[in-house]
Amino acid sequence: MSSSVPPFSELLANCTRSAVHLEMRDAYGVSNEEERFKAWREGFRHDPGDRASWWRPWLDLIQETVGRGVVVRRARIVSEPVSEYIHFEHSGTFTNVAAGEQVRWLPRRRASDIALPGNDFWLFDDRLIRWNHFTGDGASAGPEISEDPAATTLCSEAFEAVWARAVPHEQYEIR
């Protein structure tokens, strides 16, 4: 595995068919999320009519990627009742969907018999993994890239199993 990780924009730019993302934590302490989470706790909610105020430049990147014909899917495995952080994520996910991402939610109790990798990941074109490593408190411990065929197979199969059971964002109700 390589420790040299290209920028995310480059990974998506080189993607031709699919980019899938599996999230399995109930909270993240990632620095670029902290201000948005704090604002949400204080009552801020995205205005569906004010697209310019949404999470930029991420949503622009997703919109451009989907516009090239790449299918972008995100699945989140969550404990129920959901954590405050997952409630925050759920409340803003409509922006991801509006940008072209397909998003589904899977209650953790329904994932017990799925073989899952030990870390969150992005899988690009079923061949390149960007592992997302986190510390115990949810802070980023840095990404890692892998093209290991066994690992890509594990990630692909795990994602598809989760996706098949998960509830589309528009139908998932916070519990």
Walk along the chain (175 residues) in steps of 10 and give the mean pLDDT of each run.
80 98 91 80 85 78 97 98 95 93 98 98 98 91 96 98 98 94
Alpha-carbon torsion angle 107, 160, 114, 128, nearest 10: -110
pLDDT value of position 2:
44
Largest CA distance in the chain: 45
Domain covering 8-171, topology: Endonuclease; Chain A (3.30.870)
pLDDT value of position 30:
65
pLDDT value of position 1:
43
pLDDT value of position 58:
86
Amino acid at 65: T
pLDDT value of position 77:
98
Where in the chain are the domains? 8-171
pLDDT value of position 55:
67
The strand order across the sheet containing 167-168 reads: 140-146, 128-134, 120-124, 18-23, 71-78, 102-107, 167-168
Cα distance between the two ends of the chain: 38
Q: How many CB atoms lie within 10 A of CB 114?
A: 16
CA distance 122 to 145: 10
**Residue 69 in contact with residue 40, Cβ under 8 Å?**
no
pLDDT value of position 90:
96
H-assigned helices in the chain:
8-13, 31-41, 58-67, 84-99, 149-165
**Residue 143 in contact with residue 128, Cβ under 8 Å?**
no
pLDDT value of position 35:
82
